């Protein structure tokens, strides 16, 4: 029944899964990572972008340049994006068709949007039929825009086949978050700066003690990462 409810939400018949809440605490196993997370090189990232359609390209570009949790990216509405100032405000997430609060206080930190992503967002909004302020940025055509696109389905059906055909690794959505973290470290950013861009929980403690970074400071370190990725992509072509 839980699975039936899950797909009912996915296809727009229900607003939420009545059996979706976690009611049983399962025994915890080892938290040690069993295998290294998949990461993309700069060249692989740009190669993937060139082969995607408008909707998929926006989703991957947003995930690859900003590194949000994918529930946060698919929980965005157009009203959460200030395209004139180039700023995104994370307010909610979307997990299996269910709108959820964000994971931590640090998750609600606003971030600047790189010019590369802004350009794609403007293009996507100009052709999308779901462009009102209260519409989802990556709206699902299967629910006529009532819900965001199901992240796992978009990846499985529209993105991963293209990535594999291009000879790229078997990526998941979290691969992009790991990739942003790796790029930031390779670009010479301080660990605190990488945590700022990824909005990790321990950033909240850092902010209380040392003071949060302003938007211009965030934009500077983000642009440092963007420039590094572009240089790496050029060198490997």
Q: What average pLDDT does this structure show over 129-153? A: 93
Q: Which two tokens stand for residue 60?
A: 């991957």
Query: Which one is predicted more confidently, 67 or 26?
Result: 67
- What are phi and psi for residue 153, nearest 5 degrees? -70, -40
Its pTM stands at: 0.77
Domain tally for the chain? 1
pLDDT per residue as tens digits for the range 191-230? 788 888 888 766 443 333 334 556 887 888 899 999 999 9
Q: What is the CATH number of the domain that holds 118?
A: 1.10.443.10
Confidence of residue 15 (pLDDT cuts 50, 70, 90): low
Question: For tokens 């825009």, what's the residue?
Answer: 145
Question: Contact at 8 Å (CB) between 45 and 56?
Answer: no
Tell whether 3 is covered by a domain.
Answer: no
Count Cα neighbours of 71 within 13 Å in the Cβ-side half-sphere: 16
First-last CA distance in the chain: 51
Dihedral of CA 199/204/210/214: which sign? positive
139 belongs to a structural domain: yes
Whether 143 is covered by a domain: the verdict is yes
Q: Which residue has the higher pLDDT, 64 or 191?
A: 64
List the domain range (segments joined by +) for residue 179.
Answer: 39-235
In a domain, 32, yes or no: no
What is the rounded CA–CA span in Å between residue 16 and residue 169? Answer: 34
pLDDT of 188 above 70: yes
Residue 174 covered by a domain? yes
In a domain, 44, yes or no: yes
Residue 65 inside a domain? The answer is yes
Task: Give 69-86 pLDDT, tens digit per residue.
Answer: 999 999 999 999 999 999
Q: What is the pLDDT of residues 141-151, one digit of tens each?
A: 988 999 999 99
Spatial contact of 19 and 2, defined as CB atoms under 8 Å apart: yes
Q: Is residue 167 part of a domain?
A: yes
Task: Cite the DSSP H helix spans in 105-157.
Answer: 115-127, 151-154
Beta bridge partners of 212: none
Q: How far are the Cα atoms of 33, 58, 60, 111, 208 from residue 124, in angstroms, in the given order?
A: 37, 7, 13, 20, 38
**pLDDT interval class at 49 (50, 70, 90):** very high
> Dihedral of CA 184/229/174/16: which sign?
positive
């Amino acid at each position: 029944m839980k699975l039936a409810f899950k797909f009912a939400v996915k296809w727009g018949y229900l607003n939420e899964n009545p059996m979706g809440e976690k009611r049983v605490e399962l025994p915890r196993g080892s938290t040690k990572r069993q295998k290294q997370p998949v990461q993309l090189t700069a060249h692989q990232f740009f190669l993937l972008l060139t082969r995607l359609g408008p909707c998929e390209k926006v989703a991957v570009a947003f995930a690859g340049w900003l590194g949000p949790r994918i529930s946060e990216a698919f929980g965005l509405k157009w009203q959460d994006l200030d395209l004139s100032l180039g700023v995104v405000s994370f307010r909610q997430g979307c997990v299996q068709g269910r709108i959820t609060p964000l994971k931590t206080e640090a998750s609600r930190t606003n971030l600047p949007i790189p010019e590369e992503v802004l350009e794609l967002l403007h293009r996507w909004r100009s052709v999308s039929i779901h462009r009102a302020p209260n519409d989802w940025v990556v709206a699902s055509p299967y629910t006529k825009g009532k819900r965001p696109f199901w992240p796992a389905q978009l990846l499985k059906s529209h993105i991963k086949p293209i990535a594999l055909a291009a000879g790229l690794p078997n990526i998941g959505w979290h691969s992009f978050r790991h990739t942003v973290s790796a790029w930031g470290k390779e670009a010479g950013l301080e660990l605190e700066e990488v945590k700022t861009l990824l909005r990790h929980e321990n950033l909240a403690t850092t902010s209380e003690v040392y003071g949060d970074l302003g938007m211009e400071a965030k934009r500077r370190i983000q642009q440092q990462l963007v420039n590094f990725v572009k240089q790496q992509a050029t060198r490997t072509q």
